[in-house]
Structure 1
């Protein structure tokens, strides 16, 4: 496969240069930001807390969003936005002409997790859309218009309206429970429905090497394979446009039984392993850009 490479991984004078970025052959090119938009993105990323920015060496939000070609004024769907790690950058960056739509798991998926999905949890979870919108308005008083839904409840009016859908560390549980309810298939079908013609999907996902046994990468450990993602996206009506190694971490070499949450920021592991796992850093991740066919 023929590839063109752009080298570097720096933000210099408002210009984002991507490391290990490859565009697929066949006329598809990764979208590019103007210098003005790049400067705006850098400014938005600098406007968050020091605690937030402490994760930048591992998560590379400026480089990642630039690679995906996210532009001000866009309508962006963010899967599993949680506490707003990316949202706090996207809201001011997209601006008042933009929209940020948070989407969470469908309600019927939660019981698959077991233990914590108590009746009280489920009752409270129904309030997530309104609570997330309220949080988003606090995170950025001036910026994109926020809204929120579950993955199976995005309204008909959103059909063909989104410029981009982002799945950032958000696909492993959908894959994990696919056999229980077709959750990954449903999520990708909804993604295809709400995207504009030729709209894009940006994926950052914990990933293991292609050589590991498939049972290691079913999603329950947090990891998936690059090949699995590409196949799933192809079946759902998307073509791979470009990929980047900006979020790779060659130090992350999980063994049989290892879960992604043994690493920072979770560090869910024995105390004896925490120093070594902290030195590894956050997980190895693939960064893939797809376009709606």
Structure 2
């Protein structure tokens, strides 16, 4: 028999995995939609309608919510959302742009805080894109997340971007741009500078670009470390400042000195991904989530 083309075989395996992952995502989304019963809907309505004295108070109320996707609250201790967003200067009146909402860990906290007096804009890939593209799956996942609760997400604006040409069309409209555990993807796709330039353009003068990123060892080569999910902090600062930003402040709120940054499956070896499954799971659980830089960049006022 003719020898199978290894490239063809690889493509076939990738498509089969994509179909399997899409099916799993849809099943999970159906389950989530079904979870939003009258009690949860009432909780969300009350949360969105409440008057809180500050973004921190609103966030603390949101953190206690039963509406949050299962498992999300378990990540609070590692991700410090209140401290992180307060450090970036979030206000209930802010216009916020969140890059790469993923499964909505931050989106579900930001949406109720900003629903009344602010604005939340998130980026997504096209949910109606090519069926053989993983980005289409990511776009569908965001769409399903937003659809599960119109009360929570009804006011969220979605900017559909092309991964290879990520244009936002938001000149000078935004107070705070968030790139949380996202910058390694930008570098891997060769579009780091493009994304940072779009963030700069979108912000008002004096606006903040908040970056949380898995932190590589200082001497790491970013081209290599990005494949593992990590980037060197000095490199990130230099790249972002060369786009016109000024580093306003750094925080160690998301630091983790136990992270040795040298795992078989990169940062995804650690929780919450545990890509190696049960292999050495207790060891990786004891390390915890990754060591992260938390950087507050400012777009200079004119």
**Shared fold per TM-score greater than 0.5:** yes
Measured against the shorter chain, the TM-score band is 0.7 to 0.9
Write the mapping of 1:50-199 to structure 2, written as runs, cut at 5 A.
51-104=71-124, 119-122=130-133, 125=136, 128=139, 132=142, 135-136=145-146, 138-139=148-149, 141-142=151-152, 145-148=155-158, 149-150=160-161, 152=165, 154=167, 156=169, 158-178=170-190, 183-199=191-207
Cα 1:125–1:272 shift into 2, 3 Å:
closer
Residue 213 of structure 2 is aligned with which of 164, 186, 205?
205
RMSD between aligned residues: 2.9
| TM-score, normalization by structure 2 | 0.72
| Aligned positions, number | 243
Query: Which consecutive unaligned segments of at least 5 residues does structure 2 have?
Result: 1-51
Higher helix share: 2
Is the contact made by 2:172 and 2:205 (CA closer than 8 Å) also made in structure 1? yes
Q: Which has the higher contact order (CA 8 A, sep 6+)?
A: 1
| TM-score, normalization by structure 1 | 0.74
**Using the alignment, how far apart are the partners of 1:155 and 1:73 within structure 2?**
21
Q: How many Å apart are 1:223 and its aligned residue?
A: 0.2
Cα 1:147–1:208 shift into 2, 3 Å:
same
Once the two structures are superposed, residues 61-85 of structure 1 have per-residue CA deviations (whole angstroms, 9 ceiling, x without a partner) of 1111111111112111101101110
Q: Which range moves more in the overlay, 138-147 or 46-55?
A: 138-147
Query: Which consecutive unaligned segments of at least 5 residues does structure 1 have?
Result: 1-33, 108-117
Larger radius of gyration: 2
**Using the alignment, how far apart are the partners of 2:280 and 2:236 within structure 1?**
30
